[in-house]
Chains A and B, each alone.
Chain A
Amino acid sequence: MLEVRRVTAGYGAFTALWDVSLTVAAGEAVAVVGPNGAGKTTLMRVISGLVPSRGGELVFEGTPLTGRRAHQIVAHGIAHVPEGRRIFPGLTVAENLKMGAFLPPARRAYRQSLERVYGLFPVLAERRAQRAGSLSGGEQQMLAIGRALMSRPKLILLDEPSMGLAPVMVFRLFDLIRRVRAEGYTILVVEQNVRQVLKLVDRAYLLEVGRIRMEGRAELLSEQDFVRKAYMGL
């Protein structure tokens, strides 16, 4: 479904990703793990078009997306839940979800999508008229995921969904992501919480200082020192 081929990217004189290749098949859940500063967030931002790639190719469902801007990539069915959630704090919960359905095809299906999101996250329905900035961290993360679902994506990019959440909330959130998966969405997730995320996904990649070091099925990887390595950042 998604193919990233030998992508290089960076900011200014700094190169954050070197020759990174990765694939995600339809229906799969794939994780990218690695220590801080490995380039995980940059990789997500390259896929969603927020950061231009300097080399390599990006292909989604057979369509080349290399060089497309963020607002064009959403239209192809890739939704990015960015690091730090990035909800619109001054807008209400309902308005945030409405913005998720900004594109005309998503706008036409607004009612159904909204019901679906409220079904997945009932707390968002309860708080629909509240300012999004007043939600708790966990609720804001649900809103960020819900907002991404409103665009009716095929692939969801989740960047550090558990960041800044209390341990109890982290467990609940992973459960919710599992439910999102069960709805048939394909997921690519970046996470520091390696042990949790390996229970969630089918395959994982280990990214270290901008390069892919290891790749394989989640249950095999967790056996290796891979986990420890990624955890400790050694």
Chain B
Amino acid sequence: MDPIFLVEAAINGILLGGVLAVLALGLNLIFGVLDIVWIAYVDLVMLAMYAFYFMVQGHGWSVWVAGPATLVVGALLGIAVHLLIISPILTSAPINQLLATGGLLFFLQSFATFLWTTDHRSVRLSLPSVEIGGIFLPFTRVIPFAISILAMLALYLFLRHTYIGTAIRAVSQDRDAMALMGANPQRVYVVTSAVGGAMAGLAATLLSFQYSVHPFFGGQFGPLTFMICVLGGLGNMVGAFVASFVMSEIIAIGGVMFSTEMGYVIAFVVFIVVMFARPGGILARRE
């Protein structure tokens, strides 16, 4: 095989990894603070993709307006999930919380099918490609990658340098102690859910550049996102970031060497092997 294909696949892997990392960081942020995995996280992305689609195709909005609007839609969805589903059962057994967000997944899929049928809908953005040394880089991948890196940088600065961002990290380490500092835990949860939801809204916009939306879109990226979070260590933001690129590289390179399906098979095998060797994730500290 021409090595240029491998290089191209490796670059495509990096480009996909950026968007996956946005998804994984959003899910992981919520888990770190609330100790709950939102099973329906990527189904919120699906809803936000419909929102983006209707803004662009239905109302003719520019993507530069629809994108930020979708981010806001995501943040509102995040707040709604927290207030309507998580908050009432915050003190009940973790399995109930997991089941509740799992129930939300089926609800959202059925609801979307009911409203919009199972048709695949695409915003059909036609963007050019750039050619660098014989490698074609489509803008539909380069732009989402660049935006996802900027968004993660913004998230990093938010968590690192603002009071509420530092409080979010503090709550993930000790919930009660942060209440003793005067932070209302409920407020920290709402802000965290809004930020996690905004990440879902952003991912929805970026994924719309390449993928069409349908009610079962969550099945395409949901399991992969959970796998990345677990591989990086649940709640570990740096781990999730690294794991996103590890997984997207395996899928991209495995995809050109064998087939797309085989790429996913290899990724899941690597995941299982790593989980046996390092159950706490790739960046877990050794005991």
Contact = CB atoms under 8 A, between A and B. Distances in A.
Interface of A: 48-50, 69-71, 74-75, 79-80, 82, 86-91, 95, 98-100, 102-103, 106-107, 147, 151
Contact of A71 (B163, B173, B179): B179
A8 B132 CA distance: 74
Contact of B173 (A75, A90, A103, A106): A90
A90 B169 contact: yes
A128 B183 CA distance: 22
Nearest to B187: A71
Contact of A99 (B176, B181, B184): B181
A99 B167 contact: yes
Given A86-B174, A91-B173, A48 B180 contact: yes
A103 B166 CA distance: 13
B178 interface: yes
Given A99-B166, A99-B167, A71 B177 contact: no
Interface centre among A102, A147, A151 (most CB of B within 10 A): A102
Interface in B185-226: 185
Contacts of A71: 179-185
A86 B177 contact: yes
Nearest to A70: B179
B143 interface: no
Contacts of B173: 88-91
Given A99-B166, A99-B170, A151 B182 contact: yes
A80 to B, nearest CB: 5
Contact of B176 (A86, A102, A147): A86
A100 B170 CA distance: 11
B179 A50 contact: yes
B181 A151 contact: yes
A102 B169 contact: no
Contact of A74 (B170, B181, B185): B181
CB-based closest 10 A-B pairs: A74-B182, A70-B179, A103-B182, A86-B177, A102-B181, A88-B170, A71-B184, A88-B173, A102-B182, A71-B179
Given A50-B180, A89-B173, 14 more contacts: A69-B184, A71-B181, A71-B182, A74-B181, A75-B182, A80-B180, A82-B180, A88-B170, A91-B169, A91-B173, A99-B166, A99-B167, A99-B178, A107-B163
B65 to A, nearest CB: 34
A49 B181 CA distance: 12
B179 A91 contact: no
Contacts of A87: 177
A71 B185 CA distance: 8
B8 to A, nearest CB: 39
7 contacts: A71-B180, A98-B163, A99-B181, A100-B181, A102-B182, A106-B182, A151-B182
A46 to B, nearest CB: 13
B177 A88 contact: yes
Contacts of A75: 182
Nearest to B160: A95
